[in-house]
Structure 1
Amino acid sequence: MGKVACANVLSDLYAMGVTEVDNMLLLLGISKELSNDQRKVVIPMILEGFRDLAKEAGVTINGGQTVVNPWMIIGGVATSVCTRSEIIMPNQAVAGDKIVLTKPLGTQVAVNLHQWMSLGTPSWNIAKDLISAEDVVKGYDDATTSMTTLNLAAARLMHKHGAHAATDVTGFGILGHSRNLAEFQTAEVDFSIHTLPIFARFTEVCKQLIEKGGRNFKLLQGLSSETSGGLLVCLSAEAADKFVEEMRSEGGTAWIVGDVVPGNKTSRIADNPEIIEVSY
């Protein structure tokens, strides 16, 4: 949980090409439902995770705030003082650009399925006939690996390959965040998304959950919430190919998922997008 929070906070700066972060503040809400003994175990582990990933990013934590809260919450603030050349403004996409995504989709599905299974909820009574426990655990582990991976490598490659615009994909899903990015463009363009990389097995499970009267995550509509998701980056066609190749050569993930086309500053997902099943 600490690592996920740290990665998520830093992604806001990475999405603007800022790779050197000067300071972080850690914000912690300790659940009042935890006993003192539970706090002694849980809190140090969460803080350790946050610190470990901050160290990996080369960032120091110099303060923050802790409060007692109904829920267990961790977040933070990341700041950097930059020169103009260190920032990539997110408004220079042009028709003909390709759109790249650097992490798979489906973190909300992964976490919910795992929670349903662990608690034996009514939702799991529907889902258990659609996916095995082993596949739920594998998907959850893959999602955890993704959520705790920094977007730092992608931010560095944005500079190297001349990215025109970018955003991170989090709570509004890939469609929500691509719409926000499209609205911010200087040129009159649309974002057309034709491919969705999704954690393995989740596409079919989501379809069948709807048919069985279960929850509709709206994953294939691009509206499923993501946590600590990838960067959505607009680059020239040639640069996009090189960006993807280099991300993969460095052990990361990246896919060309769409096109920038003439339009009215909005975003859409194809009626039948290509699905790429991703497993770590």
Structure 2
Amino acid sequence: MGPSDLEEIISDIQPCESASVLVGPGDDAGIYLLNDTAIVETVDVITPVVNDPFTFGAISANNSLSDVYAMGGKPISALAIAGFSSCDYESSVFKEILRGAVHSLNRAGAILIGGHSFEDAELKFGLSVTGVVNREKILRVSGAEEGDIIVITKPIGIGILTTSLKGEKLTDADLKTAIGWMLTLNDKASKLALKADATACTDITGFGLLGHAYNMVKDSDIDFEITMANVPVLEHVHEMIDSGMIAEGAYNNLKFFAEKVEFSSYITEEDRLLLSDPQTSGGLLITLKEENLKVFEESDIFFSVIGRVIKGSGRIVVK
């Protein structure tokens, strides 16, 4: 399914017509108004991307927390969701995963209050996260305006690197930088987006840069014009692409979004797959007025301006 297919199915079954629903299906998270408090609700589950259980738990928690930050919110609590085979994994492995998740939650100022596990042949872990947000300062996936610049807050290529780890082309030590990025919370980037009066925001995860960028422009009268040379890429990524270490999800994403993206003739197939590479705990993709970029320039966080919003018909242009 595409990035919002499930949300559209949910909307068909139960339209969110309540006045208490501030943001329904189709964005990074749902927002519900309870009395005077705007509550952010999200859930995400992933399979292991590294070998160390503690690190996997911390990365998975970051990945789940990211949707709250993409809405401009602050996480407050979480429920753990775990699928694993009791015949294949010792309870100590699961305990380390939980310890890693709690470590990330502590850094985010949130707390683990429960969870649920189930038998599964493939190890899976994630969180259902609850947060709060200022109802007057909600970041949304749509809202970008012609003339805005496009900012990304983490380099891409994580899916290629974790695929290379599984294929034993790289070691955990080779992924040190990538792991550092996956362990980086999007809290600072979210606060800066709010301070810069961002017009739209999302986090980059399983549908890659192209998929999440398309979700920001679909059904609109704007396009995103992305400059490939300005897209930051993690170390080892290009050499792993040359070795054929590309996640199946990248091929699926590129196929799904092929008719929604216009590539310049000199953008290679390898670069197209890189832009489609599924990310775990990726950065935020933000649109804002160019004069407000100083908010990021005066900060200490990583960012790159990768393009501009132009008049169009809901497409992505890569040049």
Q: What band does the TM-score fall into relative to the shorter chain?
A: 0.7 to 0.9
Q: Cα RMSD over matched residues?
A: 2.0
Distance 1:7 1:88, change over 3 A: same
Give yes or no for contact 1:240–1:256 (8 Å, CA) kept in 2.
Answer: no
Partner of 1:155: 190
CA distance in structure 1 between the partners assigned to 2:86 and 2:70 by the alignment: 35
Matched residue SS, 2:145: coil
In the TM superposition, what whole-angstrom CA distance separates every residue of 1:198-243 from its partner, at most 9, and x where no partner exists?
112312441x335xxx757566211111111000000111212432
In 2, the alpha carbon distance for the partners of 1:44 and 1:184 equals: 44
- The one of 253, 262, 278 equivalent to 1:225 is 278
**Residue in 2 that maps onto 1:234:** 287
TM-score normalised per structure 2: 0.70
Does 1:256 find its partner at 2:311?
Answer: no
The residue type equivalent to 1:88 in the other structure is L
Change (3 A) 1:68 1:254: same
Deviations 1:163-203 (CA, angstroms, capped at 9, x unpaired): 11011101111001100111165xx2111111221112312
Listed one character per residue, the Cα deviations across residues 133-163 of structure 1 (whole Å, up to 9, x for unaligned) are 5xx5554111111111110000111111111
Structure 1 CA distance, aligned partners of 2:151 and 2:77?
Answer: 29
SS in 2 for 1:25: strand
Cα separation, 2, equivalents of 1:55 and 1:184: 39
> What's the secondary structure of 2:231's corresponding residue?
strand
Match 2:76 to one of 22, 35, 50: 22
* Deviation per residue, 1:99-136 (Å, 9 max, x gap): 1111110111111112212xxxxxx5xxxxxxxx5xx5
Tell me if 1:193 matches 2:226: yes
Q: How many residues align?
A: 240
Is the contact made by 2:160 and 2:240 (CA closer than 8 Å) also made in structure 1? Answer: no
The AA in structure 2 aligned to 1:238 is E
Secondary structure at the counterpart of residue 81 of structure 2? strand
Cα deviation for residue 23 of structure 1 reads 2.0
CA contact (8 A) 2:144 2:216 kept: no
- How far apart are the structure 1 equivalents of 2:172 and 2:124? 23
Please name the residue that 2:108 is paired with.
57
Q: CA deviation at 1:90?
A: 2.9
Q: What TM-score do you get using the length of structure 1 for normalisation?
A: 0.79
Partner SS for 1:227: coil
What is the CA-CA distance between 1:29 and the residue it aligns to? 1.3
Deviates more, 1:137-146 or 1:224-233: 137-146
- Does the residue aligned with 1:4 lie in a helix, a strand or coil? helix
Query: Do the aligned residues in 1 keep the contact of 2:72 with 2:133 (CA within 8 Å)?
Result: no
Give 1:81 deviation, angstroms.
4.1
CA deviation profile, 1:62-81 (whole Å, cap 9, x unmatched)? 12101221111101111234
Higher RCO (C-alpha 8 Å, min separation 6): 1
d(CA) in 1 for partners of 2:185, 2:68: 11
- Of the candidates 81, 91, 100, which is equivalent to residue 142 of structure 2? 91
Q: 1:93/1:173 Cα in 2 relative to 1: closer, same or farther (>3 Å)?
A: same
Amino acid of the structure 2 residue aligned with 1:28 = A
1:4 to 56, 59, 64: 59
Question: C-alpha distance in 2, partners of 1:58/1:86?
Answer: 20
CA distance in 2, matches of 1:238, 1:227: 31
Matched residue, 2:33: none
1:193/1:258 contact within 8 Å kept: yes
Q: Unaligned stretches of 5+ in structure 1?
A: 118-123, 125-132, 271-280
**Equivalences for 1:126-145 in 2 at 5 Å?**
137-145=172-180
1: CA distance, partners of 2:219 / 2:61:
26
Q: Which residue of 2 aligns with 1:266?
A: 315
2:159 alignment partner, SS class: helix
* Mapped contact 2:144–2:287 kept (Cα < 8 A): yes
Q: Which residue of 2 aligns with 1:104?
A: 155
Distance 2:240 2:96 in 1: 33
What is the DSSP-based 3-state SS (H/G/I as helix, E as strand, rest coil) of the residue aligned with 2:100?
Answer: helix
- Output the CA distance in 1 between the equivalents of 2:160 and 2:225: 24
What is the letter of the counterpart of residue 192 of structure 1?
E
C-alpha distance in 2, partners of 1:201/1:116? 14
Structure 2, unaligned runs of 5 or more: 1-55, 252-269
Task: Determine if contact 2:140/2:202 at 8 Å carries over to the other structure.
Answer: no
- Tell me, yes or no, if the aligned pair for 1:189 and 1:260 is still in contact at 8 Å: yes
Kindly indicate whether the alpha-carbon contact (under 8 Å) linking 2:149 and 2:289 is maintained by their aligned counterparts in 1.
Answer: yes
